[in-house]
Structure 1
Amino acid sequence: MDRSAQEAWAHERLRERQGTGARYDSPAAPQRDLLLARRGTAYFARKLNELDDEALALPSRVPGWSRRHVVAHVGYHARGLARLVEAARNGLDREQLAEPENQIEDVEFGATLPPHALRHLFHHAEVHLNVEWRDLDAPGWSARVRPLAGGVAVPVRETPLLRAREIWRRALDLDCGGSATDIPPDLLDPP
């Protein structure tokens, strides 16, 4: 049985175990890109969990950033994408902020959070983004949403691949044993 057949079989067994109340990604969702993003998130989480709280303060591979900065950036990146997807789910063509005064997403600020809050930021943002992707219907996956900061509207269908590229790269930026050989070949830059 080839890999795609194994994955299809495993998904079918999972659906049987979860029952009729479980919710799944839309058939219109870019399944391969979602898989790359979700595997990248799991990889980043594993690397983050390998770091004790003191190690978060050590330098990362990003000049001028500690590992704390990298974690804050990854959390805020997920939050931003989740807002774009949420806007599409709600039929809006522009990102919305429910409580703008509470949306402090400055990496420098995030890097000052206590370690448990920084880890929670990563986890909560990742869960929120995943829920937004899972609850998006076919029209939402075809939508384009303009970020609050302006600029070009983002095709929602591209958000999983944007996340995948960012999360895998940032896992290596933690500088805690990750290797470029761990990155799926689909995400490697062409020579």
Structure 2
Amino acid sequence: MIDHARDLASVRDATERLLSAAVKLDDAAVTEPSRLPGWTRGHVLAHLARNADALVNVLQGRPMYISAEARDADIERDAPRPLDVQLADVRDSAARFQEAGAVPADWSRTVELRGGVTDSASRVPFRRWVEVELHHVDLGIGYELEDLPEEFVEREIDFLAARFTGHADVPPTRLTNGTRAWSTGREADAPDVTVTGSRPDLLGWLAGRRDGSGLTADGGPLPALPPL
């Protein structure tokens, strides 16, 4: 069962880890490339702040973003800001998200996210946790997939494996780290491919953060995954 209050606490802790690491940067480092193609570290920080506000919108029953174009324009506008402004925005927007999450509400209700995707309100804090943890890695400042909390890695693999389940472009696939297994891809009586590797490598591949070179595939080539 999803515990939204516990996830909100995990979001708060993850945000503090990110801010404590990012404060050691300088203005020049903010303008340098992140690990996300075409984005500087400033883009990543700006996105984190605007995503927090967008998820407040979701919790309060408003559209997540006015439009895809407005979302992109806001990130481009905010990306060049100095480090202190970036970090203050990430911290303040994170506080607004925590405040919205603390309001008594029906957490079983269905909410609408970006692109018409719907989910239970109770899963919104975990979705924010994903944003903070993976984008901390994307900053390229020494926080790696191997540093992610074990609970987070397990749950995100669960989430991404479920996301690709039934996808016509992904062959029936079994994922395993040697102690636990997941299934994803098209429905079938048996998997076409078994992919084996560590939890961080499995997560990195599923989340588009690693190319899968640390994984082994039996029964066929490593499947090509569609973009998230």
Q: Do residues 60 (structure 1) and 39 (structure 2) align? A: no
Which one is further off, 124-133 or 114-123? 114-123
Q: Do residues 144 (structure 1) and 118 (structure 2) align? A: no
2:76 to 81, 102, 108: 108
Normalising by structure 2, report the TM-score: 0.59
Larger radius of gyration: 2
Q: Do residues 129 (structure 1) and 105 (structure 2) align? A: no
Aligned position for 2:142: 177
Question: Which structure is higher in helix share?
Answer: 1
Aligned position for 2:54: 80
* 2-structure distance, mates of 1:111, 1:154: 29
Question: Which structure is higher in strand share?
Answer: 2
Aligned position for 2:86: 118
* 2-structure distance, mates of 1:120, 1:105: 20
Aligned position for 2:18: 44
Distance 1:150 1:63, change over 3 A: closer
Judge conservation of contact 2:30–2:82 (CA < 8 Å) in 1: no
Partner of 1:175: helix, strand, or coil? coil
Encode CA deviations 1:34-64: one digit per residue, 9 max, x unaligned. 2321221111111221212221111111111
Judge conservation of contact 1:78–1:163 (CA < 8 Å) in 2: yes
Structure 2 counterpart of 1:145, one-letter code: V
Task: Report the count of equivalent residues.
Answer: 152
* 2-structure distance, mates of 1:122, 1:170: 12
Judge conservation of contact 1:82–1:129 (CA < 8 Å) in 2: yes
Structure 1 counterpart of 2:80, one-letter code: T
The alpha carbon displacement at 1:154 in A equals 3.1
Normalising by structure 1, report the TM-score: 0.69
* 2-structure distance, mates of 1:125, 1:38: 12
* 2-structure distance, mates of 1:96, 1:162: 13
% of aligned pairs identical?
A: 27
Which one is further off, 60-69 or 172-181? 172-181
Distance 1:96 1:82, change over 3 A: same
Q: Which has the higher contact order (CA 8 A, sep 6+)?
A: 1
* 1-structure distance, mates of 2:93, 2:63: 16
In structure 2, list runs of 5 or more residues that go unmatched: 158-198, 203-228
